[in-house]
Structure formats: C-alpha cells, structure tokens
Structure 1
Amino acid sequence: MSSYHHGNLREALVQAAVVLGREKGPDGIVLREVARRAGVSHNAAYRHFADRDELVREVARVGLDELSAAMQARVKRVRVTDPVARARRRLRETGKAYVDYAIAEPGLFATAFSVVALGELDGPYEHLSAALDECLAVGFLPPEKRDGAELSCWAGVHGFSMLYGTGPLSEAPKKERDADLDRLLDRIDDSLRG
C-alpha cells in the first residue's frame, strides 16, 4: 500500500479505483479498499465522492478515454490512399481496437460499460460515427443504410468482445479469435456495402 501524503487526493483515489477496476471489474471497486490503497481513511474518501457510484463513474470515464485513445491510434495508422479502401479500413480498425481493448482490459472494459449511458459514450461512439460517415462520404455506404448503422456495428463488436473477453469463448486461441474477428468484420463490411 502506498500512503497518500499531499497533492490531489481525489485523483489518488481515482487512480486506486482504476487499479481495482482493472483487477476485479466494477464489483471490485469498494470505497473502503480504495481509501486503504490510497493510504487514507474511508471518511476522507467520502469527502471527495458522494457514494461508490460516483467513484465507479470516474473509473468508467478512464476506461472510455483509454478505449477512445486506442481506437483513434488504430485509425491514424491506416495509410491506404484509395478513399473507399481507406474508409473501409478505418472502420475495420475501429472495430479491431474496440475488441483488442476489451480483451486486454476486461475489468476496466466491464467497468466502463457498467454505469454509462449512451450520451456519455462520446469518444468511442464518435469514432464509430466518424468512420461510418467517412464510408458514406466516399460512396461505400449508401445513405439509406447510414441511419442506425452504429448500433449494428457496435452490437457486433461488443458482443464479440464479451464472448471472447470473459465469456464462453475466452479460452479460444488468439489465432482462432483473430480469424473469427476478421469474419465478423467482413460480415459488417458486407452489410454496409451499397
């Protein structure tokens, strides 16, 4: 346990809670344990957070920010010059980054989606919307298929993430998981094509 001595106690509590979220998911974030890890009394923690839910929301924000950054980084690495191929690849990389993060950070991923509402998913949801808008702009995605496309794409990769992250397929070899993800992303690509 590292003791808190001075500085920003709220941030120290959030960071301790993030560690617990990574280790145990949202159910593992307990205010008393967060305070203990930060080296303060649980009463001190309650001066910064009204309740456990407020703290879990802070941890969820960290997870969503990390997921958003991972998606953005993958999209930026796309170097395809053909506009249609580039748009399709960026959408695909958005999905891959989502799944990769969920597999690499199952506790924080679960925490991120345990308490947030759709309106709070600004980063990851905006990246998906931007990728779909780009597919529309280059003529790959027809206008009549654009409305609601986020939901089908998101449901596909989120469901996949749950199955392979902590669900019944979590023990599948990486090679098999990657091949299955490619097939899923191919189906999404096919469904969006004009």
Structure 2
Amino acid sequence: MTGEAPESRAGAAREPGPVRARERNRWGEGGRLRTEILVAAGQMLGELGAVEGLTLRGVARRVGIAPASIYAHFSDKSELIGALLEFEAHRLLDLVGRAGQAVDASDPVGRLRAKLRAFCGYALNNRGFTRVLLGLRMSEESSHINLSHTVIDELRASLEDCERAGIRLRLPAERAALVLITSAPGRVMLSYVIDDSDADIARFVDELVSLLIAS
C-alpha cells in the first residue's frame, strides 16, 4: 500500500459517514485520540468495502479533527491500515480469549466451541469490516498482524489442548484450525443473505467442531 494522493472535492464528497464536532482532549490524552481514529477508520473501511477508498483526510473528517492532527499519529494510509490490523487483532484476541476462559478448563472442546462462536459473533457484528480485513494481505516485509493468522493460532492452541486431554482429532491440529477458519467465515457470510439467528450460527459451530473429533 502506498501513501494517499491529494484528494479532489469530488473524492471528498464520496466519503461515507457523518462529520461530527469533537471535544478536544485534555493534556496527556493523545492515546484516546489515536483509538478514536482507529475506530473511525474501521467503521469507514466496513462502509467502503475496500481499502482503496479510505483516506486519512476522510477519517479525520469522521473523527471531527483537522487533517494535521491525524498526520501527527499516522504518516500515511499504509501506517494507518497496519495499526488498524494490530488494533483489531488484539481486540479480537481478547474477545476470543475471554470466551474460552469462561468455560471450565476441564472441557477443552467446550472452550474451542466458545472461541469459535466468539469469532463468528465478531464477524457478524463487524460485517463489512471483517470482509475487507480477513482477506487483506500486507506486503512480505510488513510486520503487521493478519487477522486470519491471529485466529488460526488461537484455534490451533485449543485443538492441541483437546489432544492433550486425550481427545482424538480427525486432522492434525494445524490443519483442523485451517478447516475451522475457512468454514466459519463462509457460514457467517451466508447469514448476510438468508434469515439467520445467532442460534443457527452457534449450532453450525457445534456441528463443525464435532466433525473434527474422531468418535
């Protein structure tokens, strides 16, 4: 990804989302502004459906700050997208991790199901954003986190916990994690066009996990 070019009036008019007045941060609250910028960027990315339409000026407009203020945190769009990936990856990891920890450690299959349900819930609540970021490829030299890899690592760890508990899997843990991460988003995407409930998604998760466990 490259830095953004100066925008025309027509381009600026196409930017989604409202402009809002923003109360100035008190001294020492620059971290809060950075978070607001990342949240706004994620919202706009979901509305746009593609990275190409996102601009720093557009994000600044959404947050309600001058363009110079956003450039103090991110030098270009590539840096903003990288920071957004890391921000969402940590948010998703926290969500999935807490879901797993809510289930007793003596039930590793239950923990795996809870984590996968949490991931599906995240995808359902961030539909446009998830469609873009799950498939977003950073350049090879980039150290930024890929959301898909983040979830794969978490699911693989849970599958390995199942094996340590004596539960036999039909596939090696790493391959089983790939099956889960490719199947679950597809089911979530299908729910965008059919009348689905959270219970339908939860049932799919349970059935999917059961298919990977050898009887």
Is residue 21 of structure 1 aligned with residue 42 of structure 2? Answer: yes
Residue of structure 2 equivalent to 1:2: 22
Residue 136 (structure 1) shift: 1.2
Residue of structure 1 equivalent to 2:152: 125
Question: Is the Cα–Cα contact under 8 Å of residues 60 and 112 in structure 1 kept in the other structure?
Answer: yes
Question: Is the Cα–Cα contact under 8 Å of residues 136 and 142 in structure 1 kept in the other structure?
Answer: yes
Q: Which residue identity lines up with residue 36 of structure 1 in the other structure?
A: R
Distance 1:38 1:187 in 2: 40
Distance 1:10 1:116 in 2: 27
Q: Secondary structure at the match of 1:33?
A: helix
TM-score by length of 2: 0.69
Q: Secondary structure at the match of 1:79?
A: coil
How many percent of aligned residue pairs carry the same amino acid?
21
Aligned residues: 184
Query: Which has the larger helix fraction?
Result: 1
Distance 1:148 1:13 in 2: 37
Question: Is the Cα–Cα contact under 8 Å of residues 108 and 158 in structure 2 kept in the other structure?
Answer: yes
Name the CA shift for 1:152/1:144 in 2 (closer, same or farther; >3 Å): closer
Question: Is the Cα–Cα contact under 8 Å of residues 17 and 29 in structure 1 kept in the other structure?
Answer: no
Q: Secondary structure at the match of 2:212?
A: helix
Residue 92 (structure 1) shift: 0.9
Residue of structure 1 equivalent to 2:176: 149
Question: Is the Cα–Cα contact under 8 Å of residues 156 and 173 in structure 2 kept in the other structure?
Answer: no
Q: Equivalent residues in 2 for 1:76-87 (5 A)? A: 76-79=101-104, 83=106, 86-87=107-108
TM-score by length of 1: 0.75
Question: Is the Cα–Cα contact under 8 Å of residues 60 and 116 in structure 1 kept in the other structure?
Answer: no
Is residue 104 of structure 1 aligned with residue 125 of structure 2? Answer: yes
Question: Is the Cα–Cα contact under 8 Å of residues 4 and 39 in structure 1 kept in the other structure?
Answer: no
Residue 153 (structure 1) shift: 1.0
Residue of structure 1 equivalent to 2:80: 55
RMSD, matched Cα: 3.1
Q: Secondary structure at the match of 1:192?
A: coil
Question: Is the Cα–Cα contact under 8 Å of residues 87 and 134 in structure 1 kept in the other structure?
Answer: yes
Is residue 67 of structure 1 aligned with residue 87 of structure 2? Answer: no
Distance 1:14 1:111 in 2: 20
Any idea what the Cα deviations from partners look like across 1:130-161, whole Å, max 9, x if unmatched? 11101111121348633411110111112122
Residue 95 (structure 1) shift: 0.9
Residue 76 (structure 1) shift: 1.1
Unpaired stretches in structure 1, ≥5 consecutive residues: none
Q: Which residue identity lines up with residue 22 of structure 2 in the other structure?
A: S
Distance 1:59 1:180 in 2: 27
Residue 65 (structure 1) shift: 1.7
Residue of structure 2 equivalent to 1:46: 71
Question: Is the Cα–Cα contact under 8 Å of residues 57 and 67 in structure 2 kept in the other structure?
Answer: yes
Distance 2:84 2:132 in 1: 7
